[in-house]
Structure 1
C-alpha cells in the first residue's frame, strides 16, 4: 500500500482532525544532515533522537499554536567529520534541541519554523514536508530544510547544511 492511499478526516479549514499530544517513537526517527556540492550529497551524518513531542491543537476549539520539539543526542552523530565538530562541545552541550511553536498544517502539507540550539549560537530552521501517515494512534512526518550558514566558526558551520527528517509520533 502506498502512502497516497491513506485517507484521513479533514476539517473545514483543511487541517487533519488529529488533535492531541504525540511523543516521538525513538526506533522510528531519522534526522540526517548533509553537505552538498552541485546538488549531490558529498557528506552525510545521522543523529539519534532521545525525545520529542508533537502537540496538535484543535484550532476550531482553542486559539493556540501547535508545538513541535525534537531533542537530538550529539554523541550519536554517525559521521566522523560532522561528529568531530560537534563532539568537542558534547560534554557541556550533550543535546541539540529543535523547537517550534510556528507549525502550519494545511491538509497533508506541514511547515515548521523553529530554532536549533547549537553550542555557540541559536539558528533558525524551517522545515517543509508532509504527513505521510495519519491515524488516531500515530503520525508519520517527513520534512526537509536548510540550516543557514553561520557567520563565524569552523568552516563546516559556514556552509549550508541540508536537514532531512522522517519521524513517527505515537500517542
Structure 2
C-alpha cells in the first residue's frame, strides 16, 4: 500500500555526509550510478498490479554482527529466488536464500554455522523471508513487516529502505533491518552457535527486480 510520509529530517536519502549511514559498502552498486532515479512515481507503479522477479546476478544479501557500531563479523548468502509484487493493494515480498551458501571471511566458520549444531543446512536447505505488510511512501521509502524462517523457526523481522529506481518493468529495492537475538539459544547448538545466537544480526538486502 502507499501512504504519505517523509524521511528523517536532515538525512538526505542517498547523498549523505556519511555514505555508510545510507548505502552500505557492499550494496552501493545498486544502482550503479548511486542516485535515486525514479522514472515513474510511486503513484504510477502502485496504480497497476505488477509482479517482478529478482535478477540473481544483481542482488546482495548480507548479515553482519556489530560491537559498539563496528562490524566484526560479516556473512553473505546466495539468493535462490525472490518475488516482489507492487500495486492494486497486493504488495508483497518473498525471498528464499540458500542456507549452505553462507560464507564468511573467517576460516571454517561457515561450515560450523551451516552444520548440525546451528542452521542445519541438510535439514533446512533454505532460509525464507516473506511479507505481505508492505508500505511504500510517497518519497519511495519502503517499510516491511514480515517473518523470517530460520532453521524451521519463525522470527519477526522489520525492514526499512527504499525503491531506488522505478520503471514499469524494472525496480531496484534496498532494505535493511535488525534481527533480534532469539529468546532461547539453540538447544542443539554448539558453543560457537550459542555464542553468536546471543547477538542481534543486522540484515541488508539490495536487488534489481524485473518483469
Q: TM-score range by the shorter chain?
A: 0.7 to 0.9
Is 2:137 the counterpart of 1:97?
no
Query: Which residue in the other structure is 2:96 paired with?
Result: 71
Where has structure 1 moved over 4 Å in runs of 4 or more? 14-18
Assess, with a 3 A threshold, how the Cα gap between structure 1 residues 8 and 83 changes in structure 2: closer, same or farther.
farther
Q: Which has the larger radius of gyration?
A: 2
Assess, with a 3 A threshold, how the Cα gap between structure 1 residues 5 and 157 changes in structure 2: closer, same or farther.
same
Which ranges of structure 2 fall in alignment gaps of 5 or more residues? 1-32, 186-193
TM-score relative to the length of structure 1: 0.87
Query: Which residue in the other structure is 1:8 paired with?
Result: 40
Q: Secondary structure at the match of 2:197?
A: coil
Kept in 2, the 8 Å contact 1:131–1:142? The answer is yes
Which ranges of structure 1 fall in alignment gaps of 5 or more residues? 60-64
> RMSD value over aligned CA atoms?
1.9
Please give the alpha-carbon distance, in whole angstroms, between the structure 1 residues aligned to 2:41 and 2:152: 43
Q: 2:83 aligns with which of 39, 48, 53?
A: 53
Please give the alpha-carbon distance, in whole angstroms, between the structure 2 residues aligned to 1:58 and 1:35: 37
Please give the alpha-carbon distance, in whole angstroms, between the structure 2 residues aligned to 1:170 and 1:123: 28
Assess, with a 3 A threshold, how the Cα gap between structure 1 residues 157 and 138 changes in structure 2: closer, same or farther.
same
TM-score relative to the length of structure 2: 0.72
